[in-house]
Structure 1
Amino acid sequence: MTISIRHALAGVAFGAVAAMAGAGRAEAADCPVTHAELKAALTKADDQDSSGLGNHYWAVVVDRTGAVCAVAYSGEGVDSQWLLSRQIAAAKAFTANGLSLDGGPISTAQLYPWVQGSPSGGNPLFGLAAGNPLDGALVYDGNYSKFGTPDDPLVGKRVGGTITFGGGVGLYRGKSAIGGLGLSGDTACADHSTAWRTRSRLKLAPSEGNDRLTFDNKGGHPHCPNDADTQGVNVPTG
């Protein structure tokens, strides 16, 4: 992790996410994608992944204000993927957007080593997720039959949440941050890999910065089942 990312994490983590958290319906900004674009990119990216358990995904996009503006799933029906993953994906999108700056993308996978406790007192962002909980009153509301459709009840709402493992990435036009994408439904490594591919297909990857998932023996993101089967956790394909 570079010095610039460390500074961004230390200086922005609590302030940016907390400032963007809110309740109720938000004023809609420019959504980076349409529902149809998200659905198509997610479905193709799902078909390419071999790093997880073979599950399907929920994908959520937030605009730059942190408001949900698109929700989709990759399976045949609304219950073809873990229902719990819908709200996890929303929180991942909110987290990645809230911590990504122009020219400085930060993925939720990069947060993992910075939030772990230790006998010596923990890391600089220990407890980060507890400071910005998901708004359950909003995220569980609405008609089940509309989940994952263009009229998903999450659309237009700023539900908050902070997730500190793989699956959330910032969305960019060039080096300008314009929103966030969250994926959930499989292992954290597969979530990140498929989010990376989905973002690549949407042509919304950053032109500067590095938000890749990295593994190491000094507190990096933990390995997941099958993550050695593909380089997709580090390099977009197709």
Structure 2
Amino acid sequence: MLISIAAPAAAQTAAPDCPVTYANLKSAVTQAAAADSTGLNNDYWAVVVNRAGTVCAVAYSGADVYAQWLLSRQIAAAKAFTANGLSLNAPKGPLSTAQLYGFVQPSPSGGNPLFGLEGGNVLDSTGAYEGNVGLFGTAQDPMIGRRVGGTITFGGGLGLYTRGTKVGGVGVSGDTACADHSVAWRIRTTLGLVPPAQTDTITLTSGATPTTGGHPRCPNDSGTQGQTATN
């Protein structure tokens, strides 16, 4: 005798203390990707963590889960974790992943204050990679509710704020690091989660070093949002 047992429907994944809803993040990353003309014109993953660093929303801008680099999903999560973990309430304010680049590079003359930072909080690969790929980037993404960690030291991660209080972080990945920062900047603006002073800009420079700071130039970066003077 054959017995048919219906599989239970996927439950709504909890999103504790999340500063955004899935619908709002999905709309914001889709709009930002369409509006931004920098980089390679790719699609993007966007991940939001809450103030405790727990993933609480994951979305993508493309037509389906494979329309953007699959690897970028966990990179976006690590960017969100990094920016959230290194940003503070006003007046001290936000720190973007783009601002870290120059200070983590090896320096032959020494004096590099953050060299090795990326090894301090490694990504939890089990939490980042497990689950049905068909649920990636949906309201039931398997990363939601997990603190997967990770440290990224190039553009694409920004702190999120409500009236000067840090409420989480957003990470974007899928294109050049400059384009990721640009799209993250657009997303934060659309969501209305902007710090009182947006000091977490990307400084594009051809000579990013521990002394000068800054972030390397990227292809087609002239329209990068949230940038300071370039050289």
Match of 1:76 in 2: 63
What letter corresponds to residue 56 of structure 1 in structure 2?
Answer: D
Shift of the 151–28 alpha-carbon distance from structure 1 to 2, 3 Å rule, reads closer
Do residues 50 (structure 1) and 37 (structure 2) align?
Answer: yes
Give the conservation status (yes or no) of the 8 Å contact 1:116–1:122: no
In structure 1, runs of 5+ residues without a counterpart are: 1-26
- Give distance in 2, aligned partners of 1:219 and 1:207: 23
Give the alignment partner of residue 225 of structure 2, picking from 207, 214, 232.
232
Q: Which 4+ residue blocks in structure 1 deviate beyond 6 angstroms?
A: none
Higher helix proportion (structure 1 or 2):
1
- Give distance in 2, aligned partners of 1:174 and 1:182: 20
> How many percent identity over aligned positions?
64
Between the two proteins, the alignment pairs up a number of residues equal to 208
Give the alignment partner of residue 106 of structure 2, picking from 94, 100, 117.
117
- Give distance in 2, aligned partners of 1:231 and 1:28: 31
In structure 2, runs of 5+ residues without a counterpart are: 1-13
Give the alignment partner of residue 32 of structure 1, picking from 19, 28, 40.
19
- Give distance in 2, aligned partners of 1:52 and 1:187: 6
Give the conservation status (yes or no) of the 8 Å contact 1:138–1:157: yes
Give the alignment partner of residue 181 of structure 1, picking from 170, 173, 178.
170
Give the conservation status (yes or no) of the 8 Å contact 2:51–2:167: yes
Give the alignment partner of residue 223 of structure 1, picking from 217, 227, 230.
217
Match of 2:7 in 1: none
Q: Which has the larger radius of gyration?
A: 2
Cα displacement (A) at 1:219: 4.1
- Give distance in 1, aligned partners of 2:95 and 2:213: 17
Match of 1:172 in 2: 161
Cα displacement (A) at 1:122: 5.3
- Give distance in 2, aligned partners of 1:100 and 1:131: 16
- Give distance in 2, aligned partners of 1:87 and 1:114: 23
Give the conservation status (yes or no) of the 8 Å contact 1:113–1:221: yes
Is the partner of 1:41 in helix, strand or coil?
helix
For the aligned residue pairs, the C-alpha RMSD in angstroms reads 1.4
Please give the TM-score of this superposition, normalised by the length of structure 1. 0.84
